[in-house]
Structure 1
Amino acid sequence: MLVEIDKHGMISHARVRHARSPQIERGKRTAAITGIVVHQTDAETLESSLNSYRNPKANGAHFLIDKDGTIYQTAAIYQRTNHVGPLKARCLITGKCTPRDFPAKAGATAIHRIEMRKAPHERYPGNMEAIGIEMVGRARLPAGFRPIPEERHWSLDKLRGEYGIFDTPTAAQNQALSWLVSVLEDSMQMPHTEVFRHPLVSSKNKTEAQGANWNLPVPKP
């Protein structure tokens, strides 16, 4: 299904509410849009994320889906936002390379630089090529969690980042995600194979968006 997208990259459709936050936009894209990256906010409420997007130089994605399935567009599609982070090596996942093809002890930054020298179809989409979709959801420490002695000085946010388990998206969120992915794929002519969970493309909490499902049947308007 196609949707109307204005010259700035804002969707005109009854299902999408405009909540554009210029603070998270980092300038016009200089490369074609090639994929979608699905995230969770690590926040309890929609309002807390929208408020954070108003801070100077805030980071965020292009869309935000509330727990009730309401979709908010928070950045123009044709603007780059910082939502992906250093890229993992896609060729390792697809079996087209091995760790021996990278410099010994190459860290995340070094691998990202190597990946960014590749053509977009040979790597995961980065900030310049990816549309970001956030779903409201918090990472919580497991019941009874106790840090090991070396970690007792860590902040709660650092512990949650390492050991937290993200909320499962609601049924309404997954229905909205499926609709949004479908219309973006059709309108931007992107293949369905180029939609990824955040932890697959970058080194993030592995439970982020683990319950995200963008393959549900999508009713026509």
Structure 2
Amino acid sequence: MFRIDKDGMIRSVRVEARRFPSLERGDMPMVNGIVVHQTGGSTAQSTFNSYRDSAIGAHFLIEKDGRVYQTASLYKRANHVGLLRSRCLERHACAPAELKRLQGTSLRTRSRMEHAKAFPDRFPSNRDSIGIELVGEYTRNPDFGTVRGADEFLYVAVTDQQNAALRWLVGELRRALKVAAKEVYRHPQVSYKTPTEAASASW
């Protein structure tokens, strides 16, 4: 069990603070979900290096050996989700009028439409979700372009140590922030990302 200090930082021997204020985009008074990512890089340091020059990043980073770093305050938004999928389309539950509005729209327009909705009519977004990155690179898929439906990139498998740390962290965050189990997602479930990102993540 951990505690959260007044700055939104976790106090626990299992979490090392590596806060990057550049990732924090404003206050986040309510957390409705958790989104699990993979970095695309092979080390925690490569992610830290990218965070120094970027406004895109998540609240936590889990190294391949299971070390957990907190990179942004739990009380601040971070840009980690990207374009938001339509929840009703993904659940096959759109009202006829909305389905008609969605037809023929771009992904960016759909995302704007989703952001205009209140939770839980939309997926958790940058403004109300915690992002957890798992260190893990991707490689180009040798079947891409020759096998129909093959994805261009394939992410490496999450390590056992990462999954153990992820299970602990998600459990603690859910308890502390009162996040429902069904509102924890892999990145491609809520945004338009490579399907294998965090595919082997387990919580």
Q: TM-score, normalised by structure 2?
A: 0.91
Superposed CA deviations along residues 8-37 of structure 1, whole A, max 9, x for unmatched, are 1100001000010111111222x4110000
Could you say what secondary structure the match of 1:120 adopts?
Answer: coil
Alignment partner, residue 185 of structure 2: 196
Deviation (angstroms), 1:117: 1.9
Alignment of 1:117-196 (within 5 A): 117-142=116-141, 144=142, 163-196=152-185
Counting matched residue pairs gives 197
**1:53 is aligned to 2:60:** no
Deviation (angstroms), 1:101: 3.5
Whether the aligned pair in 1 keeps the contact of 2:144 and 2:152 (CA below 8 Å) is: no
Alpha-carbon distance in 2 for matches of 1:36, 1:50: 21
Deviation (angstroms), 1:93: 2.2
Alpha-carbon distance in 2 for matches of 1:210, 1:102: 31
Alpha-carbon distance in 2 for matches of 1:182, 1:193: 12
Alignment partner, residue 78 of structure 2: 81
Q: Any gaps of 5 or more consecutive residues in structure 1? A: 149-161, 215-221
Alignment partner, residue 116 of structure 1: 115
Alpha-carbon distance in 1 for matches of 2:119, 2:71: 25
1:203 to 1:4, Cα distance in 2 relative to 1, 3 A: same
> What amino acid maps onto 1:52 in structure 2?
S
**1:32 is aligned to 2:21:** no
Deviation (angstroms), 1:202: 0.5
> What amino acid maps onto 2:193 in structure 1?
K
Alignment partner, residue 95 of structure 1: 92
> What amino acid maps onto 2:114 in structure 1?
E
Deviation (angstroms), 1:147: 5.6
Per residue, is there more strand in 1 or in 2? 2
Deviation (angstroms), 1:145: 5.3
CA RMSD of aligned residues (A): 1.7
> What amino acid maps onto 1:198 in structure 2?
H
Q: TM-score, normalised by structure 1?
A: 0.84
Could you say what secondary structure the match of 1:137 adopts?
Answer: strand
Alignment partner, residue 44 of structure 1: 42
Runs of 4+ in 1 over 4 A off after TM superposition: 144-148
Alpha-carbon distance in 1 for matches of 2:49, 2:112: 32
Could you say what secondary structure the match of 2:164 adopts?
Answer: helix
Query: Share of identical aligned residues, percent?
Result: 44
